[in-house]
Amino acid sequence: MARERQIILDTETTGLYADRGDRMLEFAGIEMKKRQLTMNNLHLYIHPDRDIPEEAAAVHGITLEQLEERNAPKFEQVGRQIADFLRGAELIIHNARFDVGFLNMEFARMGLPSIEELDCEITDTLAMAREKFPGQKASLDALCSRLDVDRSKRVLHGALIDCELLAEVYLAMTREQFDLVGAEETAAAAQSADTGIAVQTAGGGLRILRADAEETAAHLEYLAELDKASGGQCLWTAEKTEQA
């Protein structure tokens, strides 16, 4: 059963290795419920309590001087806030092993529960993309291009902008699945309640909308006009359908 609350999540760090002394520099999480962004977001710059290698700064543009100018807190000051924000949610992450590894490392330093102990479910959009588009590039940039997501504002890697792009990518990758199992039934039920159109359940749980008398009359009138305009060649009139 899908979690009611989802968090699209990204981090920036001093390097690639949570188990070799690298630390978190930026955390961003944006909340989504029922495929709608709630604007209940958490975005934090974090002082790593160590240096930031030039090669890492070249990727995300974050320097120690910038963090000190912002008076950025250390992780110990914000770790509990992050843990509480994530608790019980489905976490949607691109290359989840990386971000979860850093979060668990930082939580462990504080004696806080791990992501798993916070009862979070993890959805890795990198794995989703590799399954959906086998043999093709699965980076966030490549997915934005493939799914027509505008990434023009993404000059450098940044946790917040990457979360915003990932949210659009995730919605695009799952739209077809959602439409089949959720949206059609919801729309059919709403239309039935609003207009009185008969709705029947077919095999597989899909909904069938039956046209009412007014719609049927309008359809027949249109077919008659089409038949006249085509010199009697319309194949969808009742008489020709019966002959077929």
Between CA 205 and CA 210 the distance in angstroms is: 16
Question: Same structural domain for residues 129 and 233?
Answer: no
What is the per-residue pLDDT across 15-60, written as a single tens digit (0 to 9) for each? 999 999 999 999 999 999 999 999 999 999 999 999 999 999 998 9
pTM: 0.71
Q: How many domains does the chain have?
A: 2
Q: Which residues participate in the annotated binding site for substrate? A: 10, 12, 55, 60, 162
Question: Same structural domain for residues 127 and 228?
Answer: no
Tell me, yes or no, whether 205 lies in a domain.
no
Question: Same structural domain for residues 128 and 69?
Answer: yes
Secondary structure (DSSP) of 119-158:
T-EEEEHHHHHHHHSTTS--SHHHHHHHTT---TT-SS--
Tell me, yes or no, whether 103 lies in a domain.
yes
Q: Which run of H or E residues covers position 185? A: helix 184-195
Give me the pLDDT at residue 226, please: 67
From the list 175, 1, 162, 12, the residue with the least C-alpha distance to 92 is: 162
**Which conformational region is residue 187 in: left (phi greater than 0), alpha (psi within -120 to 50 degrees), or beta?**
alpha
Instruction: Choose, from 43, 47, 157, 219, the residue flagged as catalytic.
Output: 157
Q: Which residues participate in the annotated binding site? A: 10, 12, 55, 60, 162
* Tens digits of pLDDT across the chain (244 residues): 578 899 999 999 999 999 999 999 999 999 999 999 999 999 999 999 999 999 999 989 999 999 999 999 999 999 999 999 999 999 999 999 999 999 999 999 999 999 999 999 999 999 999 999 999 999 999 999 999 998 776 655 678 889 999 999 999 999 876 655 554 555 544 554 444 444 444 444 445 566 667 777 777 777 777 667 666 766 666 555 455 4
Pairing of strands 36-45, 90-93: unpaired
What is the per-residue pLDDT across 126-152, written as a single tens digit (0 to 9) for each? 999 999 999 999 999 999 999 999 877
Question: Same structural domain for residues 221 and 169?
Answer: no
Question: Same structural domain for residues 114 and 218?
Answer: no
Residue 157 annotated in active site: yes
